[in-house]
A and B are shown apart, each in its own frame.
Chain A
C-alpha cells in the first residue's frame, strides 16, 4: 500500500485553509487539517473536511470535446487545440483582436491566471480579460 499525505490549500472560499490530502495508491481517501497553518490552526469547515470527494468523481471531464454536427464528441488534444488556435487566428484576422475575450478565474492558480492573461494580451492583443470577482 502506497500512503501519501500532501500539504495543500483549500479551493472553496477565500480563507485559504491548509490541509493534507491523504492518498492510498493514487486514490484520494481523506482530508486532515493542518495544525500549523496560520489560517486555520487545525480546524476546517464542513466543506473543507469533504474537499477530497469531488476530485475523482466519475462525473469529471476527462477528454477534450469538439462540437461536430451539433454534438460534442471526444477528440484528441491535438485536434481540439488546433481547432481553437485556428479559429482564434481566423477571428483575429477578420474582426481584430478586440473581437475575442477571455474569462480568467478565481478558481485557478496564480500561475494559470498569469499565463491566460499573458496569452490574451501578448498573443491575441486584447485587454478583454475579466473574471467573476464580483460574485
Chain B
C-alpha cells in the first residue's frame, strides 16, 4: 500500500467492486482473480458480457486468461518494464490525458523522460511480450471511456513491489483513468480484514487512520485520548522483528492470529529467530507451527463466535455477528487483550465491541461517522467523516487526490533479487489454490475442502516433465538456496517451460522453505513471487 499512498495519498482500492462490471477496459495484472477473489472475478465476467475488453498480464496462464481478449505472459519480475513500455506507447501516440495531467498531477516531465527509453523493442526483450500486444493494451486502456486496473500479490510480492504499484499509479494518472466511476487502481486485499488491520493502526508507523506516529501533533492527540505517554519512534516491521529476535535486541513477541513459521519466507531462518525469544505468546483458534514454539498459547474465538466488524477490500466496513458460543474456554481476542492490559497495569473497561467502535470513531477520521447502529444493512465504505455521511464509493473524485496533486514516480526496472543460473536453472513462483486459504489453518480443518485438495503439488510444464522423466502425480524434489521440499508433479501448460509454481497452503510441502527472504527496501514485502530453483525426480 506504500506505493499507492505515495502516488495518491491513500493506500486502498480506489473504486468499489461493483463498478468493475461497468468498466470498458480492465487490466488484470498479477491477480489470479478467479482463485483468490471469486466474487471480484464475477464482476470481470459480467464486464466481459457487457462488452468490456479484458486484458490479463500474468506469468502463469491462469483461468481468467482463457476468456481474456488479450493475454500476455510477462517474464517473472518484469512488471515495471511492462508498465513503462505501455506508458511509452501511450505518450508516443499522444493518447495521454494531458488536461488531467496538467490539472491534477506533478512529476510528469521526469516520468516522461524515463519511459522514453522503454521502446517496444527493449520492452519486448525484457518482458517477452510482443510489440503488437503492447500496442493493443496501450490503446484499449488509454482510449477506454472507463479503464480500470486490478492487481494483487503478483505485483506486490517482489523486491520491486512498491515500484510496481507506483508504475500502475503512473499509468492511471497518465490516462486520467482515476477519480471517476468504474476507473481506478484497485489492489485486491488477500485477507478478510487486512484493510481493517491497517486502518486500525496494526502497522509500526501509524496510529489508527494512518496518522503518523512520528508527528508530534498526532502523539499529543493520542496521548490525550489514551491517557498515556506515547513513543515518537516508528516501530519494527515483521522482518526487522525476526532480525531483532535473532540478534537479541527483541525479547518478547506476541502473535495474534498469525502463523509466521509458515507464512514468512525462509522457514528455517524464522524458526531459529522465534526460538530465541524470552517470551513467545501465540493467540489463535488452532494449534500451528508457531504455537508449537510458544511459551504461552491462548485460545481465541473464531469469527462465528464474536461480534465486531471487518473492512473489506473496497473499504466497506461490515458487521460480524456472533452465531454460536466460543468453543471450550476460548475468548474473543478483544476480551483477552482487555484482561491482559488490566493485569499489566493499564486499565481497560469496554462492555462490548460496539463500545470499542465508539472510541475508534473519536480518533480515526475515516471512521468518524461509523457506529454499530449505522452498520445494519449494507455496511459503510470509508471515508465516512460524519454520522450523516453516506460513505464513499470511489476515492479521488474529479482528480482531487488525498495528497493534493497526484505524484508521478520515474522508476526504472530492476532484476529480481535472485535470478536463474546453471545450478538453479528454473524460475519458481508461489500462490494460492482455489480450495485453500493462506497457511491452511482454516481450510485444511474443513472436511469438505480437505477432501477436494488433500495435498500439495508443484506445477511443471510438459517439456520439463519429459526432461525429468516424471509423469503426473510422481514425486519431484524442489531445491533452492534456502532448502528443499518434495511434492507431486502436476503437469500443465499453465506454467511456461522453465517455470515452476507451488501453492503455499501445505506445511508438508511448504513453499516458504524455498522462497527468498529478500525484501522490498520500502515496504519490506518478501519476494515470494520469484526465485531460482532446481528440480529432480524424487529418490
A residues lining the B interface (CB < 8 Å):
4, 6-18, 21, 23, 26-28, 36-40, 43, 45-47, 50-57, 59-67, 72, 77, 80-85, 87-89, 91, 95, 97-119, 121-135
One of A66, A97, A106, A117 near B193 (C-beta < 8 A): A106
20 more CB-based (< 8 A) A-B contacts, given A77-B329, A131-B202, A133-B198: A10-B192, A11-B192, A16-B313, A23-B323, A40-B42, A61-B286, A61-B328, A66-B295, A67-B294, A81-B339, A82-B343, A106-B191, A109-B306, A112-B332, A123-B344, A123-B346, A126-B231, A126-B235, A131-B238, A133-B194
Closest to B350 in A: A115
One of B291, B296, B350, B523 near A134 (C-beta < 8 A): B523
For window 30-48 of B, CB contacts with A under 8 Å fall at 36-40, 42
Judge whether A39 and B312 touch: CB under 8 Å.
yes
1/0 per residue, CB under 8 A from A, across B326-355: the answer is 011111111011111101111010100100
In angstroms, Cα B256 to Cα A121, docked, is 16
Can you report 30 A-B residue pairs in the complex whose CB atoms are below 8 A from each other?
A9-B320, A13-B37, A13-B191, A14-B188, A15-B37, A16-B311, A16-B313, A40-B39, A56-B327, A59-B445, A61-B299, A62-B329, A81-B339, A84-B340, A87-B295, A89-B345, A100-B254, A104-B197, A110-B197, A111-B353, A114-B201, A119-B344, A121-B201, A122-B228, A123-B344, A123-B346, A129-B201, A131-B258, A132-B260, A133-B203
Within the complex, the shortest CB–CB distance from A100 to chain B, in Å, comes to 4
Within the complex, the shortest CB–CB distance from B1 to chain A, in Å, comes to 7
Within the complex, the shortest CB–CB distance from A68 to chain B, in Å, comes to 10
Indicate if B449 sits at the interface (CB-CB under 8 A).
yes
Judge whether B254 and A101 touch: CB under 8 Å.
yes
One of A7, A50, A57, A121 near B222 (C-beta < 8 A): A121
- A83 contacts across to B, CB distance below 8 A: 296
Within the complex, the shortest CB–CB distance from B421 to chain A, in Å, comes to 27
Indicate if B226 sits at the interface (CB-CB under 8 A).
yes
Closest to B290 in A: A103
Indicate if B524 sits at the interface (CB-CB under 8 A).
yes
Indicate if B414 sits at the interface (CB-CB under 8 A).
no
Judge whether B313 and A14 touch: CB under 8 Å.
yes
Judge whether A95 and B296 touch: CB under 8 Å.
no
Indicate if B496 sits at the interface (CB-CB under 8 A).
no
